[in-house]
Structures are given as C-alpha cells and as structure tokens.
Amino acid sequence: MAAPGKVAAFHLPPLPTIGEIIKLFRLKAQKQLSQNFLLDLRLTDKIVKQAGNLKNAHVCEVGPGPGGITRSILSAGVQQLLLVEKDARFIPGLQMLSEAAPGKVRIVRGDILTYKIEKAFPKHLKKDWADEPPDIHIIGNLPFSVSTPLIIKWLENVSKKDGPFIYGRTQMTLTFQKEVAERLTANPGDKQRSRLSIMSQHLCTVENCFVIPGQAFVPKPQVDVAVVHFTPLVTPKIQQPFKLVEKVVQSVFQFRRKYCFRGIETLFPEDGRLKRTEQLMMTANVDPTLRPFQLSMSQFRNLCDTYRKMCDEDPSLFVYSYREELRQKKMRNLPISTSEPEQTE
Ligand code: SAM
C-alpha cells in the first residue's frame, strides 16, 4: 500500500475556482462522454494523497477535464505533470493552470487508450522491476466506459512490462464505479469475486481506498465512485501469459452461479470435453463442485499452469473458442447441447 502523501508542497497563485473555470470556458459536461466533475478541492486532495508522496514525482493525469485533481497534483509538489485530455474544450483552462506552474505541465490532447505512454517520461527514471516502484504515477478520474477497458489494457502491460511499466512498477490511482472497485478488490468467497478480481490481483496489490458519493460530482452520476490504488507485484501470482490467464478466468466465470466445472469445460471442444475437463481439474487439484467465486488465487494458478501444459501438448486447444462454436451452431441451426454463457465481468 502507498503511504498517503502530503498535499500542499507547492503553492499555486490565486486562480479562478473550478466552478468559475467551468463557467468561463463554458465547459458544460457532456452526458454522452460521461463527464462528471469534482469541484471540491479537499476531495481532490484526498484522491491525490492516495498516490503517496508526490514531491518531485513525474505524474500522468488522465482526463483532467476542468482541472480539480490537476490542482491537487500540482500542490503536491510534483516535478512534471503530463495531462492527457481527449476533449479539446478543456485545453484553454488547463493552459491557464500550466501558466500558474511554469515549466511543470505538459498538455497532450489525445485519447489515453491509444497514447504512447511508454515514451512519456525521461529514461533516467527507469527502475528494475524488482526495485522499488519508479517515481512515476498515473492518476485519473475517467468515465466508467473508459476506466474498465483501460485497466484491462494496463494490466496486460504490467504482465508484459511494457506501456507505462517499461519504467518499472509504476503505480496507478484511478477511480471506478463503486461496484467495479469492489470486483477489483474482492477476496475468495465474496459475492463480488469475478474476472476482474483475478486479472487485477494476480498482477498487482490492489487497494480500495475510499468511496466518493455520487453527489460529490457535478453533474451527479447515477452511481457512487471509488478510488483504487494499484502497485504491480514483483512476482505475479500466476506466471503465464496474460491472454492465457484471461481465457481460463473468463471461462471459469462464464457460469458464475453454477459449479466451476461448468465454466471450465468450455475451454475444450465438444469432442473429448468431459475427459479433458476431468484431467484439468484433477491435475490442478480443484474441487469441481466449488462455485467460481470460491476459488482461491492458487487454484486459479494451478488451473492456468495445467491448461498451459495441455495447450503445449495440443496447440489447437488455445485457439478453440466456445463462444465461436455456439455462434457457428446457431448460424447453421444445429442443436446446441450446452448452455449460453452469462454476461460477466
Ligand atoms: N478529472 C476531472 C474531474 O475529476 O473533475 C474530469 C473527470 S470526467 C469524469 C472524465 C474526463 O476524462 C473528461 O475530461 C473527459 O473529456 C476525459 N476523457 C474521457 N475519455 C478520455 C480518453 N479516452 N482519453 C483521455 N481523456 C478522456
């Protein structure tokens, strides 16, 4: 866990309030972009504190919008702040902030999902993976429609040590819909335990820091929000390629209310499905009558390691897709002997 940092290591000159900036630049939140702003600087300070000590740090803020969190990051005394904002309407307000903190802020108008963050920071900040995390932080309050695909992309980057993790174990402090944050941090046996719990926790220490009630945002979203802090682990709890882990985990949670063997059998083509499912579960030492949410991380590790061995012996296994088989059968009006997967996260 990051030790909460101090805020107010740098004093910004007097500036219009965030509310005034919104009025001045006519920054009406766009509903279709799920824009919800934080105007209360005590709250943005509290978010930024979760990142740890930012004095002289290099920070990338994703989706700064009107700049509430941005001000708190600057007040924490960072050396460099990179802002990546998709919506051009926010750039003039951010430029005003940049002028208030000369030489510290770089503004990029772009989409964080495609931005090449691996080139964003000076090379000398790189740390070995086993060292302490580098003095680089990612902070952001993004729309929910972006934060989930983005964390999946960044978790894959953690696994490959590329993207923002080319610099070492870069820490991230990000907001999510409260329920998504609960899934990210759920323990075995929790009803929120899901694909996201395994995908995040096998690669990172994940901490659900605190909840921000929806009414703290302008306009107020339908849901509450939680701040989550991620520190990549030196040694992942599952040491297999990201896509393989993702396939196993997705299959297990495909039928989350049924016994886990129901999802696991979808890893295998119809021909020999039962035999291979039994082989996998016996070798991995997993009780087939456990429910997906009851499986521990070490049971997922055993399943992934055993499935990997089976794929090495028969490379056609890894490319097999249960959903594709269902789709083909539906197209050809063939009888479907298996149930439809549930929608899971
Ligand atoms: N950080 C500000 C705050 O807390 O008040 C704004 C939060 S608002 C929920 C999300 C911000 O992310 C908006 O400014 C929006 O334009 C920006 N944004 C949305 N998608 C983005 C993307 N793919 N890349 C970069 N910025 C994005």
Q: What is the pLDDT of residues 235-258, one digit of tens each?
A: 999 999 999 999 999 999 999 899
> What is the model's pLDDT at position 270?
92
Ligand 1 within 6 A of 37 CB? yes
Judged against a pLDDT cut of 70, whether residue 118 lies above it is answered with yes
Cα(27)–Cα(108) distance, integer angstroms:
18
| DSSP H or E stretch at residue 45 | helix 41-49
> What is the model's pLDDT at position 3?
58
Q: How far does CA 80 lie from the centroid of its chain?
A: 23
Which residue's CA is minimally distant from atom 11 of ligand 1?
63
Tell which wins on pLDDT, 221 or 132: 132
Distance 244 CA to ligand 1 centre (A): 31
Span 65-84, mean pLDDT? 97
Ligand 1 within 6 A of 159 CB? no
> What is the model's pLDDT at position 248?
98
pLDDT tens track for 164-209 = 999 999 999 999 999 999 999 999 999 999 999 999 999 999 999 9
**Residue in 287, 306, 283, 304 with CA at minimum distance from that of residue 295:** 287
Q: Counting atoms of ligand 1 from 1, which one is nearest the CA of 38?
A: 5
pLDDT band at 32 (very low <50, low <70, confident <90, very high): low
> What is the model's pLDDT at position 343?
53
Distance 66 CA to ligand 1 centre (A): 9
Cα(267)–Cα(316) distance, integer angstroms:
11
> What is the model's pLDDT at position 93?
94
Is 79 exposed, middle or buried (CB count within 10 Å of its CB: 0-12, 13-18, 19+)? middle
Cα(24)–Cα(26) distance, integer angstroms:
6
Ligand 1 within 6 A of 141 CB? yes
Ligand 1 within 6 A of 186 CB? no
Residues with Cβ within 8 Å of 225's Cβ and at least 6 positions away in sequence, in order, are 141, 175, 176, 177, 178, 211, 212, 214, 216, 217
Tell which wins on pLDDT, 7 or 36: 36
Which residue's CA is minimally distant from atom 22 of ligand 1?
111
Complex ipTM over 0.90: yes
Span 11-32, mean pLDDT? 81
Note the helical H segments in 133-286: 144-160, 178-185, 195-201, 242-252, 260-264, 273-283
> What is the model's pLDDT at position 13?
82
